Amino acid sequence: MTVDTSAASSATPAPAGGSGRHRVAIIGSGFGGLWATEALAKAPVDITMISGTSHHLFQPLLYQVATGVLSEGEVAPATREVLKKQPNVMVLLGRVTDIDLAARTVTSLSPLGTTVTPYDSLIVAAGAGQSYFGNDHFSEFAPGMKSIDDALELRGRIFGSFELAELCTVPVDAEEWLTFVVVGAGPTGVEMAGQISELAHRTLRRDFRRIDTTKARIILLDAAPAVLGAFGDHLSNIARKQLESIGVEVQLNVKVVGVDNTGVDVIDPDGTHRRIRSRCKVWAAGVSASPLGKQLAEQSGGEVDRAGRVKVKEDLTLPGHPEVFVVGDMMALNNLPGVAQVAMQGGKYAAGQIAKRLRGEPSGQPFKYFDKGSMATISRFHAVCSIGNKIRLAGFTAWMMWLAVHVMYLIGFKNRLTTMLHWAVSFLFRGRSQRTTTRQQIVARTMMARLSATEEALNEARAAMESSQDGGPNGRGEAEEGPGTQTVEHEAGHDTVAELSTAYGSSAQGAGEPKADDRATEPTSGQSSGGGS
């Protein structure tokens, strides 16, 4: 079924607020997409927001979902609930597969079929996915940290490792379950390692009878020479010392060359190959922009950088396409880092430009990023914070600032309240409110990926068999449709697993993530940095 969301089509939902107004399509419900949408609340436009997930995700707190501090609802409220009081926006679930710059349409895929959304202005904010630097097969054994699925899977794996260690009768096996390896010493890796250490040393200390959880090894690896390199030498050294003081083993200049079910293979700075036996691995080492960036660059004659980010003009538009803005983790401009503030300010700026044009005011002023600083928590009561070139804070003051900033940017009063309650439980006492894990959350991603691969292979085999029996190119003796004339039609029950997994990114990669490719990508400065291989 093909759905057209233009007002002209009878089979389609009309754009919010009626027809005839300027149509803005926004791809993504993350920081860039949501901030752009909200900034257009009072503009005379009809907005269609298309996103691969039905929630807005506050990625900076994902690691707390993974380690049982917060629930997924607190960091990922439903987008349509957030926008329910904004009548000029229609929220559509779907994974955007095509942007046609010439026809000015966006095509998205859902389990029900294909949706085509026309636009007058387009804001693309599809973010970035995890990069395994061309080693996508690592993802089966070392999940990344980009989505709620990832965080829940990791929660299951982390708490599950302690459970399985308790069952081991051979000490060396227990040690394997009690060794946690985090690849990537950027903010995400540091925060994960710090939290796993707190779990082992505080939260779970009295819960087990056979194992001593304080004997768990938490290893933080990076190919780079520093922890939190983007924060400068001073804070980097403080962060490293603090991590070591809470029991994290920091191993730098170490290159990961293999990851499998029972361990990680690394090369030390002196060239020695070494294997770390570990059942629970976390990948926090690199990002790769949404593949939609490459599509935009190809159609506009533009360029992408090594991380797949689109090089945009100073006003965040695509070269030759003033109606198309690219914001957030997908855009490359003046080495701006892949952080939430760049996405929020970019989204607001793009919305402002559209509103200005509609009012007939001069537009095209260069985007000016206001750097509000970066921060990362290391452990309870300890964080580092860097503001501008001068202010460097570490310890309790930085941690209090971190708390305040994160509460401020969380969406919704209820979420702020419950988050503060859960923080009190975790930081003042030793409890974790969200320790529930299910087998489904641990195995679903890899099982779905395998199921999809099997289904694909079966379909190919079936097509080959039919073709050899009938002699026709498509098994029915009919001419195949040429590229570009293909209509995507989904019949009920057909390839359901493959559809669901591609639509929602439940396969080995997330919704916004690229398929396996050989492009060697570098982490963007700022977040999730620290190339692991």
296 binds ligand FAD (CB under 6 A): no
Sign of the torsion angle spanned by Cα atoms 528, 529, 531, 532: negative
Catalytic residue among 74, 153, 191, 198: 191
String of DSSP letters for 402-432: HHHHHHHHSSSHHHHHHHHHHHIIIIISS--
323 is catalytic: no
Per the listing, tokens 């387009």 go with 122
Written as six digits, the tokens of 488 are 């995507």
Q: Over the Cα atoms of the chain, what is R_g? A: 24
Q: How far is the CB of 144 from ligand FAD (least distance, A)?
A: 8
Distance set, CA 488 to CA 111, 129, 499 (Å): 11, 26, 12
Q: Which of 43, 46, 52, 178 binds ligand FAD (CB under 6 A)?
A: 52
96 binds ligand FAD (CB under 6 A): yes
377 binds ligand FAD (CB under 6 A): no
Q: Which of 189, 338, 523, 530 binds ligand FAD (CB under 6 A)?
A: 338
Written as six digits, the tokens of 361 are 């005011």
Q: Total number of residues binding ligand FAD (CB under 6 A)? A: 37
Q: How far is the CB of 385 from ligand FAD (least distance, A)?
A: 11
Find all residues with CB under 8 Å of 356, minimum gap 6, and list them.
362, 363
329 binds ligand FAD (CB under 6 A): yes
H-helix or E-strand spanning residue 255: strand 255-260
302 binds ligand FAD (CB under 6 A): no
- Interface with ligand FAD by CB under 6 A: which range of 53-61, 155-163, 219-227, 235-243? 53-61
- Interface with ligand FAD by CB under 6 A: which range of 37-45, 125-133, 433-441, 462-470? 125-133
Q: Which of 302, 511, 531, 533 binds ligand FAD (CB under 6 A)?
A: 511
59 binds ligand FAD (CB under 6 A): yes
Q: How far is the CB of 195 from ligand FAD (least distance, A)?
A: 12
Distance set, CA 141 to CA 258, 481, 509 (Å): 10, 40, 13
30 binds ligand FAD (CB under 6 A): yes
126 binds ligand FAD (CB under 6 A): yes
- Interface with ligand FAD by CB under 6 A: which range of 235-243, 335-343, 386-394, 472-480? 335-343
Using left for φ > 0, alpha for ψ between -120 and 50, and beta otherwise, residue 172 falls in alpha
**d(C-alpha 533, C-alpha 318), whole Å:** 32
Distance set, CA 487 to CA 1, 2, 115, 116, 474 (Å): 9, 8, 11, 12, 16
Q: Report, as residue numbers or ranges, the catalytic residues.
A: 191
Query: What is the binding site for ligand FAD (CB under 6 A)?
Result: 27-33, 50-53, 59-60, 62, 95-96, 125-127, 145-146, 187-188, 290, 292, 328-330, 338-341, 343, 511-512, 527-528
